[in-house]
Structure 1
Amino acid sequence: MDEKEMLHGYLRAQRDSLLSKLDGLGEYDVRRPMTSTGTNLLGLVKHVASVEMGYLGEVFGRPADRELPWFADDAEVNADMWAPADQTREEIVELHRYSAALSDATIAALPLDAPGEVPWWGEAKRHVTLRQIMVHMCVETARHAGHADIVRELIDGAVGSRPDDPNIPEVDWPAYRERLETAAREAGAAS
């Protein structure tokens, strides 16, 4: 496997992991703000799909054939991080798939050293290569997939990147959590 295939494989795996966090949940739960800053599953998918279109489309002169109103100059702050009631899950999942297909076409068409330009990074950092942007999108997607892992666990206790994830041990989670809570309290009292 060459470097481009490896990076592309990691990006695809992270995309799939993020999107899978919506599986089995109703409309309320996929939109539900689970942190003090409003982090929610559907918003994470919308955000990642939106930024990937820019990084693996626009940056390499391959812009999407659709506009994202949540990125307009007059859009509400953080409009890419949540879905209003009239924006359906299906629309956002379709955007995710569209964005992935656009990105995959860019990746297939260009060598890793293909030049690109990220105007929103400022003059000193704006000149990039496909390799840099693929690494950036792997990191960006993995970061938000991690957020989605925690949000999903808070919603219904589901853990791991998929239901049969071999990296999740069989543990008495309430007892394990209590053990950690006890250790944290003891360390806090000792400081």
Structure 2
Amino acid sequence: MDEKETLHHYLRVRRDDLLGKLDGLSEYDARRPLTPTGTNLLGLVKHVSSVELDYFGEVFGRPSGRHLPWYDDDASPDADMWAAVGETRDDIVELHRFAAAHSDATIEALALDADGVVPWWPEERRHVTLHQILVHMLSERAHHLGHADILRELIDGTAGQRPGDPNLSPRSPEERAAHRASLEAAARAVS
């Protein structure tokens, strides 16, 4: 794989990983806020999909033509970070797939050194290349995937990217509980 194919491959993997965090969850669990700021799984998918549409669309003069009402002047605050009552999981997953297809078309059509302009960035940084935006979106996705990892673990204890994830220590639920208790004891010992 060349550099562009490598970056594109990892972007696709992170997309799948984020969507996978919704697998097996009820509507409530997919959208319920689990942090004081309201962070929730479905909102993360909605947000990253919206951002990807902008970065691989508007930035390179390839608008998707898709209206995102959460960007309207009269939208609720942070409306791209949560699912409104009228929005379904299917709606947001479809948006994710639409954004991915639109982004993939941009990535496939342009060279890594293709020029773009990010109008919402400061003037001194707004002139970019496809390479920069690929790295930026990989970082954005990884950032929010980390949030999603933690949220999913809080919901039902599911950890890692998939069952048997080799990046996690293989522990039984009892061993995990004992490990957590030992970490808690260590933390209390220094306070």
Structure 1 length-normalised TM:
0.97
Superposition deviation, residue 169 in structure 1 = 1.5
Q: Which runs of 5+ in 2 are unaligned?
A: none
Q: Which runs of 5+ in 1 are unaligned?
A: none
Q: How does 1:110-125 map to 2 (within 5 A)?
A: 110-125=110-125
Amino acid at match of 1:173: R
Superposition deviation, residue 168 in structure 1 = 1.4
Paired position in structure 2 for 1:102: 102
Q: Secondary structure at the match of 2:125?
A: coil
Paired position in structure 1 for 2:184: 181
Q: Distance in 2 between matches of 1:41 and 1:132?
A: 27
Paired position in structure 1 for 2:167: 167
Amino acid at match of 1:131: H
Superposition deviation, residue 187 in structure 1 = 1.4
Amino acid at match of 2:182: R
Superposition deviation, residue 73 in structure 1 = 2.3
Amino acid at match of 2:43: G
Q: Secondary structure at the match of 1:121?
A: coil
Q: How does 1:1-191 map to 2 (within 5 A)?
A: 1-171=1-171, 172-188=175-191
Superposition deviation, residue 66 in structure 1 = 1.0
Amino acid at match of 2:96: H
Q: Secondary structure at the match of 1:162?
A: coil
Amino acid at match of 1:180: L
Deviations 1:17-68 (A, max 9, x none): 1000000001000001000000000000000000000001110000012110
Q: Distance in 1 between matches of 2:45 and 2:163?
A: 19
Deviations 1:104-158 (A, max 9, x none): 0000000000000000002111100000000000000011011000000000000
Query: Which runs of structure 1 show a deviation greater than 4 angstroms over 4 or more consecutive aligned residues?
Result: none
Amino acid at match of 1:57: G
Q: Distance in 2 between matches of 1:18 and 1:71?
A: 22
Amino acid at match of 1:185: R
Superposition deviation, residue 167 in structure 1 = 1.2
Deviations 1:157-189 (A, max 9, x none): 00001123111111211000001001101111x
RMSD of aligned alpha carbons: 0.7
Structure 2 length-normalised TM:
0.97
Q: Distance in 2 between matches of 1:84 and 1:99?
A: 19
Q: Distance in 1 between matches of 2:25 and 2:84?
A: 17
Q: Secondary structure at the match of 1:116?
A: strand
Number of positions where the alignment pairs a residue of Structure 1 with one of Structure 2: 188
